[in-house]
Amino acid sequence: PSMVEKLFESGTKSLGVSAFCIIAKTIFTGYEDGLICKFNLRSGERQATYIGHKGRINAIVTSPSGKLMSGSNDCTIRLWNMADGDCECIFKLTHPISCLAVFEDEDYKEMYAGLWDKSLKRIDLQEKAVINSWQCLSEAVRTICITDKYIFVGGSESVVKAWDYNGKKSKDYVGHQG
C-alpha cells in the first residue's frame, strides 16, 4: 500500500479536522498531522491527498486562479496546484500561520497571512515573495477579511482593525467587552 493508504488505514487514533475550504463541488480538509485531502462534495470520495506540512493545518483557502493555499503550525504556507496536487511554492515564515486570505484582480494576486506573532504578512503570488509585514494586533491574528480598500483583522482582542494595503491603520471596530 502507498503511504497515503497507510495513513488512512493504519487503525491509529483518528486525527481531527483543523481547517477546511469548500469550492464548487470540492471540499479540502486539513488535519492535525499536516495532511490535506480533496473530496468530492457530493459523493464523499477522496480524490487527492496533499502531503508536505509537518504540523497542524490552521488555514486553507483557494484563489480564483485555481491555487490552493495552506498555512500550518510548521511555520509554512504552501501553494498547491489544485488540478494535480503539486506543491508549487513554500513560504517559510518565523511563526505558525493562523489564517489566510486571498485577493486577486486584473493587477494583483496577493495572499495575506495572519501569524501567531501578531503580524500580518502581505505576499505577492506572482513574485512568490513577502512584500510587506506589520504588527497589527496585540494578540495573535485569528481572522482576516479583505475588501477592495482594506484588510480587516481580528483575534483574541475585542476589536477588529482595518488596515490599508501599505500597513497604515485606518479604523478600529471595538466590540464586546467582558
Q: What is the pLDDT of residue 59?
A: 97
* Residue 91: closest CA among 100, 83, 82: 100
Does pLDDT of 26 surpass 70? yes
At 8, is the secondary structure helix, strand, or coil?
Answer: helix
pTM for this model (two decimals): 0.86
For residue 107, what is its C-alpha cell? Answer: 493587477
* Residue 111: closest CA among 55, 51, 70: 70
CB 53 within 8 A of CB 36: yes
pLDDT band at 57 (very low <50, low <70, confident <90, very high): very high
Handedness of CA 70, 111, 128, 98 (dihedral sign): negative
Does pLDDT of 11 surpass 50? no
Q: What is the pLDDT of residue 175?
A: 77
What would the pLDDT profile of 78-109 be if each residue is shown by its tens digit? Answer: 999 988 889 999 999 999 999 999 998 887 89
Helices (H), the chain: 3-9
CB 78 within 8 A of CB 53: yes
* Residue 145: closest CA among 100, 80, 93: 100
pLDDT top residue among 60 and 16: 60
CB 98 within 8 A of CB 59: yes
Q: How many CB atoms lie within 10 A of CB 58?
A: 22
Mean pLDDT (the chain, rounded): 88
